[in-house]
Amino acid sequence: MAKEAAGIDDTRVYRVVATDAATNKQVELAFVHTAAAGHGSFSVVFRGELVRGGHGVVAFKRTRQDKRFKNRELQIMSAVSHPNIVKMLFYWYESAQDEGDSIVVLNLVLEFLPETLYRAYRTYTKRRQYFPEVSTKLYMYQLLRALAYLHAVGVCHRDIKPHNVLVDADSGRLVLIDFGSAKVLREGAENVSYACSRYYRAPELIFGSTRYNDSIDVWSAGCVLGELLCGSVFFPGESSIDQLVEIVKVLGTPTREHVKAMNAHYTEHNFPQVQAVPLEQILPRASAAAIDLLGSLLLYDPSRRLTAVEAMAHNFFDDLRRGNTRESNGSWGVQMPNGKCVTVGLFDFSRFELSIRPDLNTILVPPHARQALLVEQDVDLETFIPLDLDEHRLNLD
């Protein structure tokens, strides 16, 4: 019944000519849609299977191209490659009709992961349990790793939230999805301030800043961390103004210096004086390291927030670097609450990633992972020469 309501016929084989994202060559695809997986303002996502090619279950994202909004998703997805960013396999455009109007639809075929981070933690909340801290560490680390890479190539995601993060509990892997709002930010250039979903919107955006930087993603990641730690939305504002009220309830009233740092052109400073509430009082079960990391991400002044790569080096993630189990093949892993040991790659850094903050590499790459870097990438941290990051920044509209 659900499939019929969604207009899904899982017996029908669709055939299209698409572009292979890896080779940029035209190929014929045959596939079936098996279930609706989600939808947004301009897009709908289906789960499906390719008839040939060995990809197994994949996700199909169909996005209506609206001339009023610039969608850079295909450009950015074609240019990025990272283990914690969803992989695009194929794409094609097609013409369609919508209430008598001719429209253009972009179709993306993406790798499939079974669960959103939102559903993963809500499974525990519904049972009145807290999301395990080891799971929080595993997933937040990978989210920050994705952001560190994106920010280094110049991309700001601008819509970080648990619904835009997919996880696989069996492998422990996380990928960031939905690049429909993403943009290459240029220093000094103006951007729309109405970005990010409300609960995860950085305060500088609420103050109307149009010259923000990628630290808005870091704020959003902090909101995600807070949500995983408490089991519900951390700043549950009912409107843009109420969102600021919720932030002030926790962080206290921003000072004039804070407001200037968020938006130098904002001149209204008549805010009621509210005292900050210690995060450990809001999250009494959270570890001291978790509280410290959260407090370093959720700061009014964007320049004082940790960067994504600095957050990866925080001692909250030391347990991941140590590992808590060792497999028979000698590889280090992390044992999850269900007893499974996940050995997802956490330290298989590329030369580019190691060039983001070379001074942090001895923290980011634990001793047990350095031999693999040497064997697989011929990288010796002692003699490693960083790449010029400017040469790798994306130059997209």
Please give the positions annotated as active site. 159
N- to C-terminal Cα distance for the chain?
44
Burial class (CB in 10 A: 0-12, 13-18, 19+), 305: buried
The 10 Å Cβ neighbour count of residue 32 is: 16
Length of the chain measured in residues: 397
Q: Nearest Cα to 161, choosing from 15, 321, 40? A: 40
The 10 Å Cβ neighbour count of residue 198 is: 18
